[in-house]
Chains A and B, each alone.
Chain A
Amino acid sequence: MKTQARLTLLLLLAPALLWLISLILLPHVELGILSLRARVAPRVYEPSLAQFATFIEEPLYWHTFVRTALMSILATAITLVMAFPVAWTIAKIARGRNKSLLFVMCLIPFWVSETVRTLGWMILLRESGVLPAVLVSLGVTPAPVEMLYHDATILVGLVYTSMLFMVIPLISALESLDDSLIEAAYDLGGNGWSILRQIIIPHAAPGMVAGCIVVFMLTLGNYLTPTLLGGKNSQWFTEQIYTQFITRFNWEQGAAFGFLLLGLSTVIVWAGLRLSGQRFGEVMQKT
């Protein structure tokens, strides 16, 4: 009986294990080995930290690295600030049909592929695009302005892409907040700001952190949006990885960059959890 139960469990877990081992674990082991060796002659390799040395010695690489991290943190923060009122409206203010309508409105853009959505932004923002033309016709600018290829454009694209992933955990976090807690706080002399700070945010914190983790990881690993909206100026670290693998055919360097990015996201998520006083397990239940 016992062996049978164990076999059943194993069979049930098999697809997940297969996926974990073959698609996550094996490639990472392979990349790990790649990143730690150097080619000394054709088809001759020896263990080396040369790739990591290159990363430190070449300012372009670590500049891009830091820039990607900072921009991702900024994009996450902006997404949180923008998603909060949206989630609040859907969770607490809208009722019945309006509620589902608002939620569907958040969801609809995601029926279209990310490429198409990003191209939409390009149509709106390019020099010959819609928004510059509107600004000219309103007399705000004398000639069309190029709105693509700025950092702000990249942020706009990243925030837009990430909104839904922040809104959903926030809605579930806010919906579980009992309205009478807010009324009680108000009744006891609290005002809007103090209630937000002392009641709503502490309650919603796991959901907020969950949303931030998801958005941060999506943003850090995003390739399409920074490339299309930022053009040559985007300097996103995923582009460096792409270049090493595809253009330079330097898999060793690309693998090292990949691990550096993995390390970066791990460190920042850990720091975020520490700073907000949340536990990883609790937060992950909210996603």
Chain B
Amino acid sequence: MTTQPDLQATRVAKHYGAFRAVDELSFSVARGSFFSILGPSGCGKTTLLRMIAGFLEPDAGNIQIGGKAMNGVPPNRRPVNMVFQHLALFPMMNVGENVGYGLARRGVAKDETKLRVGEMLERVSLAGAQAKRVDQLSGGQKQRVAIARSLVLEPTLLLLDEPLGALDLKLREHMKIELKALQAAFGTTFVYITHDQSEALVLSDHVAVMNHGRFEQLGTPQQLYYEPQTPFVAGFVGANNRIAGVATQINGLEVSVTSAEGLVIPARAIGKVSRGDAVEAFVRPEVARLARSAAVLMDAGLPTFSARVDSLLFDGANSAVLLREAQSNTEFRIALPQTGEFADLAVGETVAFGFDAQRAVCFAG
């Protein structure tokens, strides 16, 4: 038995003059999943979300929600609710009235509305908060009220428009976990848009990386991270060292990339790469290994480079070091292992680094 996807978009497009905000997108979102659209600002993700919500009509294509075509259906008649960027709680109403607003608009009886509002607030751990004013709530509580206000209507889809964007870092980390737990508890299909790759990777079952109105890649967070299909995804998801050069040697899937400065590195080809092609190679900071002597790396069978420490970027668990490769003076960012082995590393010191060629990727430019 195949289950009906909750959201199905077929060649959806939206143009503003010659600018293609959303360019013939087709995708589907499975029931009960957490789907994120990740992209830089201006990539068209907000336009796409507003078309799903019904605030914008697509110029071409179809959007089906829960198996029903949504062309010409206004937002107040779609089985879709949205959590807005700044949450848009109604300041003229208390928490209970905010959550009950949608039910009242549907003509649900007062007693039942009261009951369901109470249950919903309990599920988002805000039991008994009905009489509170919106401005008495903390940032996290406001977000839970905004989600409760939407989920009380039991929508097929819940759309979230960067709801964590306005929060400070600590709270954002906390709300990420809370959001994932809420989604798991309710089982509602979430469609989440963000420009923050960490939010997308942590929260989602599937992520679409969007750029210039198109999906660059759609896959699980792991696929995006380990198997980027385009240079944009490799550069946008996670940190990466980018080396532009020419493919000088091809050995099966392994390509030797020679940069203009004369650096030669091996990388795994994604897609077709021929000898002499201009290519872009990407090496993740956390993939490279650092050593005080080159012999350790050579024994491990890794291509090895010598480099000088340019600066230390201490950031607790995310500490890294900026190196200059000895021959080509190319800058490399490499994650600092947490073993304490390099705790005394000093600027100007000469070290060796190497990486597994299979875990570096390269694309024909």
Contact = CB atoms under 8 A, between A and B. Distances in A.
Interface of A: 178, 180-181, 183-191, 194, 198-199, 202-203
B361 to A, nearest CB: 40
A183 B102 contact: no
A194 B149 CA distance: 17
Given A187-B75, A191-B76, A180 B92 contact: no
Nearest to B86: A180
Contacts, number: 59
A199 B53 contact: no
Interface of B: 53-55, 74-76, 80-82, 84-86, 88-93, 101-102, 105-106, 149-150, 153
Contact of B88 (A184, A191, A194, A202): A184
A190 B54 CA distance: 14
B84 A185 contact: no
B84 A184 contact: yes
Contacts of B75: 183, 186-187
Given A181-B90, A199-B90, A199-B92, A188 B84 contact: no
Contact of A190 (B55, B76, B81, B86): B76
B85 A180 contact: yes
B116 to A, nearest CB: 14
Nearest to B107: A189
A190 B90 contact: no
Given A183-B55, A184-B82, A189 B88 contact: no
A187 B84 CA distance: 10
A224 to B, nearest CB: 40
Contact of A186 (B76, B85, B93, B149): B76
A181 B101 contact: no
Contacts of A185: 90, 101
Given A187-B75, A187-B81, A188-B81, 16 more contacts: A180-B84, A180-B88, A181-B90, A183-B88, A184-B88, A184-B90, A186-B75, A187-B76, A188-B101, A188-B102, A188-B105, A188-B149, A188-B150, A190-B101, A198-B101, A203-B91
A29 to B, nearest CB: 43
A277 to B, nearest CB: 11
A188 B92 contact: no
Given A188-B150, A188-B153, A189-B153, A183 B84 contact: yes
A254 B205 CA distance: 81
Closest 6 CB pairs of A and B: A189-B105, A184-B88, A188-B102, A202-B92, A180-B88, A180-B84
Contacts of A188: 76, 81, 101-102, 105, 149-150, 153
Contact of A189 (B53, B89, B91, B106): B106
Nearest to B101: A188
A28 B82 CA distance: 59
Contacts of A181: 88, 90
Contacts of B153: 188-189
A188 B74 CA distance: 11
User: Of B80, B84, B89, B93, which is in contact with the most chain A CB atoms at under 10 Å from its CB?
Assistant: B84
Nearest to B97: A198
A202 B97 CA distance: 14
A191 B74 CA distance: 10
Contacts of A190: 76, 101, 105
Contacts of A183: 55, 75, 82, 84, 88
Nearest to B80: A187
24 contacts: A178-B88, A180-B84, A180-B85, A180-B86, A180-B88, A181-B88, A183-B75, A184-B84, A184-B90, A185-B101, A187-B55, A187-B81, A187-B82, A188-B81, A188-B102, A188-B149, A188-B150, A188-B153, A189-B105, A190-B101, A198-B90, A198-B92, A199-B90, A202-B92
A189 B102 contact: yes
B149 to A, nearest CB: 7
A241 B170 CA distance: 69
Contacts of B53: 187
Most buried by B among A183, A184, A189, A203: A184
A49 to B, nearest CB: 47
Contacts of A186: 74-76
Nearest to A190: B105
A190 B90 CA distance: 13
B7 to A, nearest CB: 16
Contacts of A178: 86, 88
